[in-house]
Amino acid sequence: MWSTTTPRQITSTVFAICLANCHQYTTKRPHKAITVTEIGKVSPTSSRVLTQALNRLKKIDLDVKKALTIYFQIRKFGCFDRMGMTFSVIVPTYNRLNLLKNTLESLYRQDYADFEIIVVNDGSTDGTDEFLASLAMQNKISYLKHPNQGLAATRTAGLGVAAGEYIAFTDDDCVVPVTWLRTLKEAFQQETVAGIGGATHTGDRKNPSAEANDMINNFFKRKLNTGGSRCPYFTGNNMAFKKSSLLRVGGPDARFRMDAEDRDLVFRLHLAGEQLLYLDNLIVDHYNDVNLWGFIRHQYDQGKGSYLFYSIHSRSGTKPAPIPAKVYMGLLLYPFLTRPINRAFVLCSLAIIAQAAVSVGFMSAWLFHGRDSARV
């Protein structure tokens, strides 16, 4: 009977057996419980999947709540259809429905097919829930609803259901190139590489605040990811890691709400001895809709996040080396080397404002760290 059964049917049956047994033991109903031994023999191609399922069964207590949770995950996320998948792409989102649609369309156009999309809704109130629920019903994405807790917590939630060997991260205001996953896969062919980061291109060049934000990040990536730096630097809208490496260091730290969470994650991977690779030609378009005030607020939050980053690692005895002053001086000169003179003055001014806001954020967290920075 089982010689032609698919792995999905077998694993679903195993969990159905678990669910039936749980239901009997917890409700004391008189029906006969099915046993795992009734499965019988399976074909060689199915035995590995069955073994994985049985190993998972051993970790489950016999209570109906846990069994129903597992069953729900099988139905909603297609867990066993996704076994052995190469990439899981995790996209956190918060109140950016129109931009998110463009992000998802770019993922659907990938020329590499072996991946899943996991979208984690961080408490959006703009119709995102209804839109994502509809896509999930069409099996276009896996969808998680999450209370508003920030980027690190949402990425961790996505990691918890990811089936891929590699975990790729992008944001809900980005458009990835059609070759994005293929390029990542080719880079991961170097077996020692555990993580890869790339650059961003400003999607709306008419927005100087958005351009300044991307310019600052790209400059730091080029400077801090070369020459054996003690401070590797990626941004969460364009990075990917081996799942095993992420689990090894505990994944993103939920103490970081919006800023420095990616810097902390990459630094912990670096401390663990994982090899991190920066690809300057791995570029995503970043359609940041921030205005000047939002830009300043973001940099202020970056400063608060930096304080938390340095304080956490100082307490653990692994304090990262501060960014040298010459790097900051280079940042102020960089616009004049890469932009027309008028635009360069604008971007240089915004870079100065950004570093001032970062400093104020850092100092405010230092002054009120017992109350304020713990919530960063």
Q: Judge if 94 and 227 occupy the same domain.
A: yes
| Domain region containing 225 | 87-289
Please write the tens of the pLDDT for every residue from 22-44: 433 333 333 333 333 433 333 33
Residue 232 lies inside a defined structural domain of this protein = yes
Per-residue buried b or exposed e for 336-352, using 16+ beta carbons within 10 Å of the residue's own CB: eeebeeeebebbbebbe
Q: Are residues 121 and 224 in the same domain?
A: yes
Closest to 193 in 3D by CA, of 121, 131, 125, 282: 282
Q: Are residues 96 and 211 in the same domain?
A: yes
Which among 19, 46, 77 is the end of a domain? Answer: 77
60 vs 250 pLDDT, higher one: 250
- Give the tens place of pLDDT for each residue, 170-211: 999 999 999 999 999 999 999 899 999 999 999 998 999 999
Q: What is the CATH number of the domain that holds 192?
A: 3.90.550.10
Residue 339: the pLDDT is 94
Kindly state the average pLDDT of the residues 153-182.
94
Mean pLDDT, rounded, for 231-243 = 92
What is the spatial order of strands in the sheet that 142-145 belongs to? Answer: 142-145, 115-121, 87-93, 166-169, 239-242, 193-202, 275-286, 174-175
Residues 129 and 34 in one domain: no
* pLDDT at residue 314 in the model: 82
Are both 135 and 229 inside the same structural domain? yes
Task: Report the share of the chain in percent with pLDDT over 70.
Answer: 74
**65 sits in which H/E element:** helix 64-77
Whether 3 has a pLDDT exceeding 50, the answer reads no
Which residues lie closer than 8 Å to 184 by C-beta, 6 or more apart? 87, 166, 168, 196, 240, 282
Instruction: Let me know if residue 311 belongs to a domain.
Output: no
* Rounded mean pLDDT, 256-275: 89
On the 0-12 / 13-18 / 19+ scale of CB atoms within 10 A, 364 is: middle
Whether residues 101 and 237 share a domain: the answer is yes
- Whether 71 shows a pLDDT value over 80: the answer reads no
pTM of the model: 0.76
Q: pLDDT tens-digit profile of 85-135?
A: 789 999 999 999 999 999 999 999 999 989 999 999 999 999 999 999 999
- What span, in angstroms and rounded, lies between the C-alpha atoms of 310 and 350? 25
Domain-located, residue 261: yes
pLDDT band at 323 (very low <50, low <70, confident <90, very high): confident
Q: Is residue 281 in some structural domain?
A: yes
82 confidence band (pLDDT: 50, 70, 90)? low
Confidence (pLDDT) at 217: 95
Confidence band for 52, pLDDT divided at 50, 70 and 90: low
Q: Are 50 and 99 members of one domain?
A: no
Is 349 within a domain? no
Residues 17 and 98 reside in one and the same domain: no
- Asked if residues 218 and 200 have their Cβ atoms less than 8 Å apart, the reply is yes
Residues 202 and 253 grouped into a single domain: yes
124 and 196: one domain? Answer: yes
* Any domain includes 142: yes
The fraction of the chain above a pLDDT of 90, given in percent, is 57
Structure tokens that stand for 343 in this block: 């635009």
Domain end (from 56, 77, 98): 77
Query: Which tokens hold the place of 199?
Result: 């650059």
pLDDT of res. 255: 87
Structural domain count, the chain: 2
Shared domain for 164 and 228, answered yes or no, is yes
189 within domain boundaries: yes
DSSP state of 121: E
Last residue of a domain, one of 77, 99, 133: 77
Same-domain status, 153 and 227: yes
Confidence of residue 265 (pLDDT cuts 50, 70, 90): very high
pLDDT of residue 84: 61
Is position 237 within any domain?
Answer: yes
